Amino acid sequence: MCKVIPIEIRREAHRRAVIALRCVNALLPDATPRQQKRFANRILSMCDGVDRRLRITQEQSQALILPNVQCIAKNCPMLCFWEPISRSLNMFFNDEEDQ
């Protein structure tokens, strides 16, 4: 079953695709048609409003930090709060706090 897309939406999609391709042509005049299409698709994907930022989980922050932790005491009861650490890493790499 084919979904009927209103003409206004098709025109807007076409307009945005043309703008993205013009932008790619201006920025990368020597790109192949395949490269132009790929970069135009990336531009359009960045403009769709979806948050694609990568997030570091508590487990990932633990895996990153624990191998580098040292304590000179034999029975060191090290206490780590992984959720704030992962949040801090995300803030550092994304330059903003999670919403």
Residues 33-78: pLDDT tens digits?
999 999 999 999 988 888 777 788 888 888 888 877 777 777 777 7
Give CA–CA dist 37/34, Å, rounded.
5
What tokens appear for 6 in the block? 């209103």
For residue 98, is pLDDT > 50? Answer: no
Structurally, the chain folds into a number of domains equal to 2
Cα separation, 56 vs 50, in Å, equals: 18
> Are 62 and 90 found together in one domain?
yes
41 and 14 within one domain? yes
53 within a domain of the structure (yes/no)? no
What domain range is 89 assigned to?
Answer: 58-94
- The pLDDT, as a whole number, for residue 92 is 81
Do the domain assignments include residue 1? no
Centre a 10 Å sphere on the Cβ of residue 92 and count the other Cβ atoms it contains.
Answer: 9
* Predicted TM-score (pTM) of this structure: 0.52
Token couple for 80: 């780590």
Residue 17 belongs to some domain of the structure: yes
Q: What is the pLDDT of residue 84?
A: 86
**Domain membership flag for residue 86:** yes
pLDDT score recorded for residue 85:
84
